[in-house]
Amino acid sequence: MQLLILDALNLIRRLYAVQENRQQDTAAALVATEAALNHAAGRLLERFAPSHVVAVFDGAPQGFRHRLHPGYKAGRAPMPEALAGHLDRLQQGLWQLGIDALLSDTDEADDLVATLSRTLSRHGLAATIVSTDQGFCQLLGPHTRLWDHFNQRWLDTAYVQQHYGLQPAQLVDYWALTGVSGSQIKGVPGIGPKRAKALLQQFGNLDSLLAAEPVSKEQKTVQQHKHDALLARQLVRLVDDIELGFNLKDLRYRPSTKGP
């Protein structure tokens, strides 16, 4: 079996941005986005031929990360109001293709995706995540892969090695050191990508780095900002044990039973 997981808002917001630039008004952009979404979803279903499929939406405006770090994702541009008001219709279009929507009032979409993929992985089952969000690279493994629909490429272990010089399992600690500017997670001051990579190549992970006697300037900096690094790691690590409240069989792809 294979579960196809669509990072719905990642897909929708990019499609809408394209149509917003092409169309003369908002109404036309929304209609065009709906058509583009259905076309993209159809292509993905054809490409991957999944046995199960789900579109995961963000339903929680704030969660535990905001409680830990009130500035989390502060300053991000909100979803256009017109698009937000059109999401129900977009979900209906996906439903007619046989794709159910999953969202939570308390959990971020990224954590729902992580829970789905890791649950399958623990049972030796395959999951394909469709998203441009490289944060999902931390989930990569023998049974979990990540597809960038817009660039038509796999964000796989080879990509992580080429782009970061690390293994997928090291990415959470890498971002804990560098921070993630787009989410307003600051990491360790003065530790950028190059130094973070060197430290993790030397020590393997953040715990080993913190446990070692600090010798270099970079090690001492990390020790001095240990709290920042550990907080950042807690923020960037995806939660993979959410109680979902449904059975995997509920996500079985049955196009003939949905819609007209």
Q: Residues of the chain with pLDDT > 70: what percent?
A: 98
Which two three-digit tokens encode residue 212? Answer: 């070692």
| Domains annotated on the chain, with CATH | 2-159 (3.40.50.1010)
Nearest one of 251, 248, 255, 200 to 222, comparing CA atoms: 200
Q: Which pLDDT score is estimated for 256? A: 52
Is residue 169 predicted with pLDDT exceeding 90? yes
Question: Which residue would you say has higher pLDDT here, 42 or 259?
Answer: 42
- pLDDT, mean of residues 90-105: 95
Q: What is the pLDDT of residues 11-50, one digit of tens each?
A: 999 999 999 999 989 999 999 999 999 999 999 999 999 9
State the pLDDT confidence band at 260, using cuts at 50, 70 and 90.
Answer: very low
pLDDT at position 76 is 87
pLDDT band for 259, please (50, 70, 90 cuts): very low
Q: Please write the tens of the pLDDT for every residue from 185-210.
A: 999 999 999 999 999 999 999 999 99
Q: Could you tell me how far CA 253 lies from the centroid of its own chain?
A: 22
pLDDT tens by residue, 122-163: 999 999 999 999 999 999 999 999 999 999 999 999 999 999
The reported pTM is 0.95
Q: In what order do the strands lie in the sheet with 144-148?
A: 100-102, 52-56, 2-7, 126-130, 144-148, 153-154
What contacts 25, CB < 8 A, 6 or more positions away?
A: none
For residue 75, what pLDDT band results from cuts at 50, 70 and 90? Answer: confident
- Whether 178 has a pLDDT exceeding 80, the answer reads yes
Closest Cα to residue 127, out of 112, 116, 111, 137? Answer: 116
What is the pLDDT at residue 60?
65
Please give the pLDDT value at position 141: 97
